[in-house]
Amino acid sequence: MDNQYDSLNNEVKEALQNSDQALAVAKIQEYLDEQNNIPLNIAITGESGSGKSTFVNAFRGVDDSDEGAAPTGCVETTMEVTPYPHPNYPNVTLWDLPGMGTDKFPADKYLEHVGFEKFDFFIIISASRFKENDTKLAQEIQKMGKKFYFVRSKIDNDLRAERRKKGFNEEKTLTEIRENCFEGLHGDSPQVFLMSSFDLKLYDFSLLHETLEKQLPSHKRNALLFAMPNTSLEIINKKKEVFQAQIKYYATTSAVGAAVPIPGLSISVDLALLVGALTHYVIGFGLDVKSLQRLADNSQVPLKDLIDVIISPLTAKKITPDLVMKLLCQCASIAALMVAEEGSRFIPIIGIPAAIALSFTTTNRALSSFLDMLAEDAHRIFKKALSTQCDTVQ
């Protein structure tokens, strides 16, 4: 990332030396757009009734009844290779694949028919022990040089059934299910992730994310991260780290705007930047109203209870220039920097360089401060939803 920043910085400096501020801003925006739109294509496959469509919806943070949701049901509902883009990050697409071994998708031609080359990796889902077709599919995927991961779904159903028995032990039951999967798969101890799509915070979903993150190419990791629902505090913290690393690009764009000797222009540029960045933060942390309502529905925590723990004035709000300007003015240190930047323009010779430095500092400090507030809200909301669920279980 530092090498990329240095390269971008050199291109921006060259553009500024040629008095081409528009090109400098375009270079930075092009880089940010490229980073935020890296495609990631995930193939979801398995036998009919394994819970593929439910997993696709849960991963995307979509309810089964929402518009654009993958259809679910007791019978085979996936008859074609069907793409389901993430609602907030359309560069990330989950592809719901028909089960292997049907007349239309015979085992020996399955990967060819579904177009294996476009997928970054495969997730093979089963609601019971993995079977011969699953093992064959994994072997074929491996031959094609692609990664695959086994997900044993509907764990909540298994545990519910086992709880009726005397001497129930959850850890022992999960171990038995995992071993049963290994027996069906054979091979060199394949890794199996136990999961319930109705509550991704439980069982192995976080472990699956951790594994995918390690094995994906570095340029694909952020695409995966932002598409992931907030199933742990660690995921929230990782999102914050990525947002934090991008602040210098926004601050550099702000500094470029300050290089133009027109009073008031820098503030206009900064407000547009801040609105864009903060909207990205709110959506990435799941702090927009739509995401909060979905969390309330899934966790059975009233939306009002989630909103009650919010502190940041940006959470669950539409981010507008007026709102951002109001918040900037309420922070004494940032307001002072903004006044100093505009005032420095009238100083001969050193005025513009001073304005550039002050603009960089102002945007950097403002975004860092707002990011801290939003990340803290994401933590509080996650803990509120989790603690209420734990109380219900007890």
Q: Kindly report the number of other CB atoms within 10 A of residue 131's CB atom.
A: 15
Backbone angles phi, psi at 46, to 5 degrees: 160, 175
Can you tell me the distance from the alpha carbon of 149 to that of 146, in angstroms, rounded to the nearest whole number?
Answer: 10
Per-residue burial over 312-330, b if 16 or more Cβ lie within 10 Å, else e, is bebbbeebeeebbbebbee
103: exposed, middle or buried (C-beta count within 10 Å: 0-12, 13-18, 19+)? exposed
Q: Calculate the alpha carbon distances from 365 to 43, 80, 236 in Å.
A: 41, 50, 21
What's the CA gap between 217 and 153, in Å, rounded? Answer: 26
The closest of 383, 341, 347, 348 to 364, measured between CA atoms, is: 341
The tokens describing 117, both together, are 């080359």
Q: Please report the pLDDT score of residue 123 as a whole number.
A: 92
Q: What domains can be seen in the chain, in order of their start residue?
A: 40-227 (3.40.50.300), 230-393 (no CATH)
| Residue 391 confidence (pLDDT) | 47
Q: What is the pLDDT along the chain (394 residues), one digit of tens a residue?
A: 556 656 766 776 677 667 666 777 787 778 778 878 889 999 998 877 788 888 888 888 887 777 778 777 655 555 788 899 998 899 999 998 887 666 676 667 777 777 788 899 999 898 877 777 788 888 888 888 888 888 988 888 888 888 888 778 888 888 888 888 887 776 666 788 998 888 888 888 888 999 998 889 888 998 999 988 888 899 999 999 999 998 988 888 777 765 554 444 456 667 888 888 999 999 999 999 888 888 888 788 899 999 999 999 999 888 998 998 888 888 877 766 665 555 455 565 555 556 667 778 888 888 999 999 999 999 999 998 887 554 444 4
Q: What is the pLDDT, as a whole number, of residue 261?
A: 47
What integer pLDDT is reported at residue 268 of this predicted model?
63
Radius of gyration from C-alpha coordinates of the chain: 25
Q: HSE of 203 in the Cβ direction (CA atoms, 13 Å)?
A: 25
Residue-level pLDDT at 174:
87
Residue 265 confidence (pLDDT): 43
pLDDT of residue 81: 85
| pTM value surpassing 0.95 | no
The DSSP secondary structure of 54-109, one letter per residue, reads: HHHHHHTT--TTSTTPPP--SS----S-EEEE-SS-TTEEEEEPPPTTSSSS-GGG
Give the residues across from 150 on adjacent strands. 124, 192
Q: What is the pLDDT of residue 73?
A: 62
Check residue 393 and give its pLDDT: 43
**Which sign does the torsion angle of CA 386, 387, 388, 390 carry?**
positive
Q: What was the pLDDT predicted at 394?
A: 42
Give the C-alpha distances (Å, rounded to integers) separating 153 from 130, 149, 202, 205.
Answer: 11, 12, 12, 11
Distance CA 70, CA 96 (A): 8
